[in-house]
Structure 1
Amino acid sequence: SYIPPKAEKLYALFQELIDRTNLKKSPDNAYEFFLQSAANQFFWDGNKRTGQLMMNGLLLESGHLPVSIPARSQLQYNQAMTRFYNTGL
């Protein structure tokens, strides 16, 4: 039942997200970038993949290990993402 923001709001939301996550390189900001990318659907396709790529770049840049979702955890990952979408941003 989740509905992403309207297309005309995406540029401003993306710019705010970039500004906010660049203020301080931290794991929390990297995770936020991923979740907001997935939820706001900035791109036509591949929002979670693109968000995860950016998250991992931010993590590596701040000296942390990247995140990878193993195939055996795919169901748990999908359920967690569904809860995220359904509980609001």
Structure 2
Amino acid sequence: VHQLVLKNIDDTNAGCYRHENVIIAGAQHIPPEHLHVQPLMTELIDCYQNQACHPVERAARLHVDFVGIHPFVDGNGRTARLLMNFDLLSSGYLPVIIEAENRLVYYEALDKAHTGKCYQDYITMVVEAEEQALKRYLSIVR
């Protein structure tokens, strides 16, 4: 997915885990050192596959944890949102859109989850976005 996200933008890094340490501008969270990315991604996949929670919560947690690892130099947020939406779709839910006017709230909810292990604000944001998507869908089919 990441390789497609960065295709013709950064072909050198597209689909490749980062080989350098990074920081996220404006965030308190500091992503793990690049040497830890591979094992953390393996752990993320294992945890994701063994989660027994509601599909919307699972998709939201996948997004938060993926972005927290920040496995790529660029395109982490776009890739995480696509993964979240693929997961929602595969569970019979609609894809969600994080609206531009909610960007600051989105970043704050992610940072809160990363620094305090408190996922609720982000999960609530995804639930509300899912409700909005359903309302849009229903208004179209009516």
Q: 1:83 to 1:24 in 2, by over 3 A?
A: closer
The Cα offsets for residues 17-54 of structure 1, whole Å up to 9 and x where unpaired, read as: 11221235822221111001111111111111111100
Query: Percent of aligned positions with the same letter in both sequences?
Result: 34
2:35 aligned residue: 8
Segments of structure 1 that go 5 or more residues without pairing to the other structure are none
Number of matched pairs? 89
How far the C-alpha of 1:87 sits from its partner, in A, is: 2.2
1:61 aligned residue: 90
- Normalized against structure 2, the TM-score is what? 0.54
Larger Rg: 2
Contact 2:67 2:80 in 1 (8 A): yes
Segments of structure 2 that go 5 or more residues without pairing to the other structure are 1-27, 119-142
Q: Which has the higher contact order (CA 8 A, sep 6+)?
A: 1
Q: Secondary structure at the match of 1:84?
A: helix
Measured in 2, the distance between the counterparts of 1:20 and 1:84 equals 16
